[in-house]
Chain A
């Protein structure tokens, strides 16, 4: 009984170590290829369009409603202490430091990350990745490298968009709907945000870009190892990619916040 338990535990640990090694090699293979010519300019543009441009509407919409909810909730909390004038500060700092990068990352995971995992997963089960290898094309360079560059370009820009639209949302609910003086709202926004807050948000978004793209590409790429072949395998690897990305967003958010504060 005990021997079997130890055996099982050992098996799990070996599998975990194997997976970790595989992720590290996959990541290094992809990132080293960023610096190897020729530069994959066309592919980077395509993926920036898919990951970045096509996410603009979703990010703007989510940002607007997040800002509006923050404005509403913040107002009713602050008004109890007669501090409703600090609403601009509360909304903007919450968005720039925390919610902007995290919500942007979650929304991109849902919209683009799942698509990436599914697309690469289908390529795996339909032997398209093997076909790349038979053509002497490095599949990781072909599939992962342009996507990680596209994410590094897109995430901070979309985070900035989320922040700006979110602050506007707070303005709509706080000033237009609940009557806080608009000059006071904008003044507290401008005065409370420091460059360190903005930088912190961008560091997070860059970290999320790397983590999410790696997880989604990796999950799709190794669909056959973790989820099996066929449509079910792709569906499983897509689900796993999204769930793991979300978990890692929160883990990395805590780690980066810990070092920033």
Chain B
């Protein structure tokens, strides 16, 4: 049986008296696109932040290639952390940096990369995402869709092995949404990274993801292949897909 790249076992998290995650069990396999769906406020972003280490679970375990992070040898731990990338829901671009510097930041802060290589990598991503010509502009001077693409370029510039997307299409028009989805799919096929996408775009996300997990009230209600979701008899799942409140 394949060992999941990342596995969450009974992960719980509370903020004060508010229990956000109530025992999450989820497996993420190498090279797949996993979509996490669910109503707003069910803890999808919090779950994503646990995977990348921005939040620490109250209880439960997060296994990396079958081992807890703290048990990995220092080298392996560091290289795993460098393999991850995160695209924030609101982009989290730096207002005081121009677009070039925003995209280049993860490389510039790492002295291993010579400046010429950084420039090449940044311009390659900018070209792929249609951002050429914006390098000297500031985030506030760009449209919402372009800022999204800048955030995507920044997330991909380090050639990560795994990218976590927190609602990458929020606030985009249907055409841009489709573009972002196909871009993720295309790059995932091209670079072979593992992708976890938190999304509300039903049913579009089913065309992008290979597996779906549904989070509801702090627990995973469904986890499986996208074809299984349509055959599923889960009441909550079906209602959510149909956009009904239960």
Q: Which residues of A contact B81 (CB under 8 A)?
A: 136
Q: Is A135 an interface residue (CB 8 A)?
A: yes
Q: Is the CB of A127 within 8 A of B90?
A: yes
Query: Nearest chain-B residue to A138 (Cβ)?
Result: B109
- B84-A134 in contact (CB<8A): yes
CA distance A119 to B109 in the complex (A): 20
Closest Cβ–Cβ distance, residue B144 to chain A (whole Å) = 14
As a 0/1 sequence over residues 84 to 115 of chain B, the CB contacts with chain A under 8 angstroms (1 = contact) are 11101010111110000000011001110000
Q: B85 → chain A, closest Cβ, in Å?
A: 7
- Given A126-B90, A127-B90, A131-B92, the answer on whether A136 and B82 have CB atoms closer than 8 Å is yes
Determine if B84 and A142 form an interchain contact, defined as CB atoms under 8 angstroms apart.
no
Of B49, B85, B94, B109, the contact of A128 (CB 8 Å cutoff): B94
B105 A135 Cβ-Cβ under 8 A: yes
Q: How far is the CA of A123 from the CA of B106 in the complex (A)?
A: 17
Task: Name the A residues within 8 Å of B220 (CB-CB).
Answer: none
Q: For the complex, what is the distance from the CA of A131 to the CA of B86, rounded to whole Å?
A: 8
From known contacts A128-B92, A134-B85, infer whether A38 and B111 are also in contact, taking CB-CB under 8 Å.
Answer: yes
Tell me, in angstroms, the Cα distance from A125 to B88 when the chains sit together.
13
Is the CB of B52 closer than 8 A to any CB of chain A?
yes
* Chain A, Cβ-Cβ closest to B55: A130
Find out whether the CB atom of B88 lies under 8 angstroms from the CB atom of A127.
Answer: yes
Of A122, A128, A131, chain B has the most CB atoms within 10 Å of the CB of A131
Closest to B45 in A: A127
Instruction: Please give me the residue from chain B that is nearest to A137 by CB atom.
Output: B109
At the interface, yes or no: B117 with Cβ under 8 Å from chain A?
no
Contacts of B95 in A (CB 8 A): 122
The bracket for how many chain A residues form the interface is 10 to 19
Contacts of B94 in A (CB 8 A): 123, 128, 131
* A residues less than 8 Å from B74 (CB atoms): none
Chain A 122-151 per-residue mask, 1 if CB under 8 angstroms from chain B, else 0: 110011101101111100001000000000
How many angstroms between the C-alpha atoms of A136 and B54 in the bound complex?
Answer: 11
Interface residues of A in 91-131 (CB under 8 A from B): 119, 122-123, 126-128, 130-131
**Contact: A126 with B92, CB < 8 Å?**
yes
Most buried by A among B52, B54, B109, B110: B109
> Interface residue tally of chain B, by bracket?
20 to 34
- A134, B52: Cβ atoms closer than 8 Å: yes
Distance of B161 from chain A, by nearest CB (Å): 14
Residues of A near B85 (CB, < 8 A) are 134
Name the one of B53, B54, B92, B106 contacting A137, with C-beta atoms under 8 angstroms.
B106
Bitwise, A65-86 to B at CB < 8 A (1) or not (0) is 0000000000000000000000
**Least CB distance, B91 to chain A, in whole angstroms:** 9
Known: A136-B81, A136-B82. A131 touches B109 (CB 8 A): no
Query: Which residues on A sit within 8 Å (CB–CB) of B52?
Result: 134
Q: Report the bound CA distance from A236 to B49 in whole Å.
A: 26
Contact flags (1/0) for B51-71 with A, using CB distance below 8 Å?
Answer: 011100000000000000000
A90 to chain B, nearest CB (A): 45
State in angstroms the CA–CA spacing of A128 and B91 once bound together: 9
In Å, the complex CA distance between A122 and B94 comes to 10
Tell me the nearest residue of chain A to B53, going by C-beta: A133
Known contacts A134-B52, A134-B84; A142 and B109 CB within 8 A of each other: yes
Instruction: Kindly state the separation between the CA atoms of A130 and B92 in the bound complex, as whole angstroms.
Output: 8
Q: Is the CB of A136 within 8 A of B92?
A: no
CB-nearest residue of chain B to A123: B94
**Chain A positions near chain B (C-beta within 8 angstroms):** 38, 119, 122-123, 126-128, 130-131, 133-137, 142
Q: List 20 A-B contacts (CB under 8 A).
A: A38-B111, A119-B96, A123-B94, A126-B92, A127-B90, A128-B92, A128-B93, A131-B88, A131-B94, A133-B53, A133-B54, A134-B52, A134-B86, A135-B106, A135-B109, A136-B81, A136-B82, A136-B110, A137-B106, A142-B109
Since A38-B111, A119-B96, A126-B92 are in contact, a sample of 15 more A-B pairs with Cβ atoms closer than 8 Å, ordered by chain A residue number, is A122-B95, A126-B90, A127-B90, A128-B93, A130-B49, A130-B54, A131-B86, A131-B88, A134-B84, A135-B106, A135-B109, A136-B82, A136-B106, A136-B109, A137-B105
Q: State the 3 A-B residue pairs at the shortest beta-carbon distance, nearest first.
A: A131-B92, A135-B106, A134-B86
